[in-house]
Amino acid sequence: MALTGKHFIAGKRSGVENSADSFSATNPSNGETLEGEFLEAGQSDIDAAVAAADEAFDELQTASSDRIGDFLEAIAEGIDAAGDSLLDRAHAETGLPMGRLQGERGRTTNQIRIFANMTRNDDWRQPRIDAGDPERKPPKPDVRTMLFGVGPVVVFGASNFPLAISVAGTDTVSAFAARCPVIVKAHPAHPGTCEILAEVISAAVEKIGLPAGTFSLLQGKSNEFGKSLVQHPDVAAVAFTGSLGGGRAMFDAVNAREIPIPFYAEMGSSNPVFLLPGALKQRAQEIAQGYVQSVNLGVGQFCTNPGIVLGVESDSLEQFLSAVKSSVSGVPPATMLHPGIHKSFQDAQGNLESINGVERIARSDQPPVDGAHQAACNIYEADISVLQSSSEVHEEVFGPSSVVLRCQSTEQMLAYAASLDGHLTATIHGTEEDLNSNLKLVRLLQRKVGRIVFNGFPTGIEVCNAMHHGGPYPATTHSFYTSIGHQSIYRFTKPVCFQGFPEKCLPPQLRSEA
C-alpha cells in the first residue's frame, strides 16, 4: 500500500498534506530517510478521534460476543494478508532482522486469536449472582455483578515490538475484547508500520460493520501531543509501554486531570539474576551461555533484559565469568531500533565506565559499523560494595549490557534483594537444595517483582493465561495488572452491580436462565 502519512480517524484518513508539522522515519542501519511524510496531530484531530470513540462505545457494549470475536479474527487475517510489505517496512524502520519480525508477526496474530476466543465465551465478564430472598429478615436484595468496558482507551505502543506491542498489539486487542474503542498514538520511530496496521484494523471495522469510531490512529512526535491526548476528558484509560521518563511524564499528566483515570505503564527494569552456589558448581558454563544469549536477544532491547547478576566469590563464579568472556567475544554488534536509543545506550555505557570500581570484562571482538547505529555487547563486573557509592550501577541500560556483582556471601544477596525497587522479573539459578536453603530470598522477591524465573532467563514471554508481566513501581504504575497474556483485558474493565432489577431487564449474562 502507498503510505499517505495521514491519521486514521473513525475510518477516514485525515490531515492536511504538505503541512509544516510533519516528520519522516529513518532507517537505523544506514541513516537514510524513508518514504513518507507523517503529519503531527493537533488538538482538532484529538478531539475528533475521541468524540468518535465516545460515540462508538455504547454500540460496542451491546455488540454480540461473536461479532467482536469475528472483528478480532478479521484483524489477524488482515495482518497475515499484508504479507511481506508489512515486514519489509518494519525491517526498514527498526533494523530488526526479518526472522525476528516473522516470529513477532506470528506472536501478534496468535494473541489476537486468543482474545477472539476469549470474547466469544464471555467468561472474562465474571458474572456473579446472589439471588434475593424476600422471606429473610431483613429481606435479602437480589444482587448481580459483571464486568463491562470502561470507555475510550488510548494506547502508546512500544519501540521494540513494532507488531506485538504496537497498533495491533496486546493493549489494543485486549481493549477491543473488552468492547472499548481505541485511539492509538503511533510510535514516531516506525510510523509507516503503524499506518499499514491501522489500514488493516480500519478495514476489519468496516468488514464487521462496527461503528467507525471503534478505532483511530494519530501520528505525532511531540510530548505536548501525548499529554493532550491523555488529558482529554472523555478518555477513560491509557496503556503505555516505554521508558521510565516518558511513562512518568504521562502518568503525571493523567493525574493532573480534574478526574484522574487508570494509567497502565510498563517502563522496564534491570531484572536481577541470583546465582546460588549449588547451581554454579554444577553448570557454570551452561548458565553463562544462556546469560549471554539473553543479554543479547534483540540487541538487548527488551524490558526483561538481565541487567544485573549476583554471585558469591568462588572458583565456580570464576568459571562462570571465564565462560561469559568466551561467549561474548563472538557476539557481533547489531543495529539498534533507532538513533535515539543508540545514543542513550552509548551514554549509559559511558556512565558505567566512569564509575570507580566498575570494570569491563568482556566485549564483542568485532567493532560496530560506523553509521549503522550498532551496539556491541559489554559485560562489566564490580564488587557489590560499589553500590554504597554509586546506585547507577544497577540502573537499567536498554541494550546489550550487564553488570556482574561479586558478593562475599548469600547474606549480601539477601540484603540486595531487600533493597530493590520494583522490577518486572527476578531470576534464581539453583539446585532444589539451594532453593530450600534460600526461601527467604524467594519471599523477598515476591514483594519486589512480578515474575520469578527459576533456572531460566527472563527474556521471552509466553503469551498465556497464567503470565504476569508487571511489577511494583517503577517497573509499572500498577503491579496488580499484566500487559501481556489473557489477564491484560482486566485493565480496561469495571464491575457494575445491578440490585433489584427485573429478570428480563438484566444483561443476558446475569439472567438466572443464562
Question: Which residues participate in catalysis according to the annotation?
Answer: 266, 303
Beta strands 308-312; 401-407: pairing state: parallel
* Residue recorded with cell 493537533: 42
Burial track 160-169 (b if 16+ CB lie within 10 A, e otherwise): bbbbbbbbbb
Instruction: Report the C-alpha gap between 37 and 24 in whole angstroms.
Output: 5
Q: Which three cell numbers stand for residue 188?
A: 514516531
Determine the Cα–Cα distance for residues 216 and 201; give it in Å rounded to an integer.
9
CA-nearest of 415, 344, 333 to 377 is 333
The whole-angstrom separation of Cα 323 and Cα 3 is 48
Helix (H) / strand (E) element for 57: namely helix 43-62
Residue 38 DSSP symbol = E
What is d(CA 333, CA 401) in angstroms, rounded to the nearest whole number?
12
Question: Count of CB atoms within 10 A of residue 245's CB?
Answer: 9
Radius of gyration of the chain measured on its C-alpha atoms: 25
Query: Alpha-carbon dihedral of residues 368, 369, 374, 377, nearest 10 degrees?
Result: -20
Residue located via cell numbers 446475569: 510
User: Amino acid letter at 458?
Assistant: P
Check if the beta carbon of residue 457 is closer than 8 Å to that of residue 290: yes
Question: How many whole angstroms separate alpha carbon 308 and alpha carbon 66?
Answer: 46
Beta strands in 169-214 (DSSP E): 182-185
